[in-house]
Amino acid sequence: MTVLARFADSVDWLNERIGRTVSWLVLVMALVTFSVAILRYVFSIGFVWMQESYVWLHAIVFMSGAAYTLLHDAHVRVDVIYRPFEERYKAWVDLLGGLLLLLPVIIAAGWVSFPYVLSSWDRLETSREAGGLPALFLLKSFLLIFCATVGLQGLSLAARSLIVLMARSDQGHKA
């Protein structure tokens, strides 16, 4: 197994575990949302922390699950220019798309997010709402987790594309 394949397998394994674990938060989010609605509309009771919690859960699921979505090729793509083509063409699209589009955007997002998250940690930022959730700085940290996991998954996608392209070119030289 090549270094590229081992790297891609490790990243894929990590994002598979993160995605499967975080997927349980969707159930928690649905239950919290249901509870908020029942408490508010049946009993006229509301808790700010509870309302914030399902928004936070949604953010965590989205940011933590993005790499899992990329791993399983479930992200948005223009399939008209991708699906009908052969594996080598798809490998080129994935390689160039990952290196020229995905990674620069992720690096820029991480670059912009880092001072924002650091500032939040410096202040140990909490919710602005009275009765809101503490530790907003932890939620903001998921911006960097998003950048790291999606960036790694983009590199894994590029590595797998290179493996396909190298295997095809090696076969051509052997003939």
Angle at 151 between CA 121 and CA 98, to 5 degrees: 150
Instruction: State the residue range of the domain holding 132.
Output: 3-174
Mind listing the pLDDT tens digit for each residue in 9-50? 999 999 999 999 999 999 999 999 999 999 999 999 999 999
Mind listing the pLDDT tens digit for each residue in 54-86? 999 999 999 999 999 999 988 877 677 777 788
With a cut of 70, say whether residue 110 has pLDDT above it. yes
**pLDDT band with cut points at 50, 70 and 90 for residue 125:** very high
CA dihedral 30, 33, 35, 41 (to 10 degrees): -140
The count of domains in the chain is 1
The answer to whether 82 and 90 are in contact (CB under 8 A) is: yes
Task: Map tokens 């670059």 to a residue.
Answer: 111
pTM over 0.85: yes
pLDDT at 175: 45
Q: Quickly list H helices, 42-127.
A: 48-71, 87-97, 103-123
pLDDT at 1: 56
| Whole-number percent of the chain with pLDDT over 90 | 81
The answer to whether 147 and 70 are in contact (CB under 8 A) is: no
What secondary structure letter does DSSP report for 139? H
Three-state secondary structure call for residue 155: helix
With a cut of 60, say whether residue 172 has pLDDT above it. no
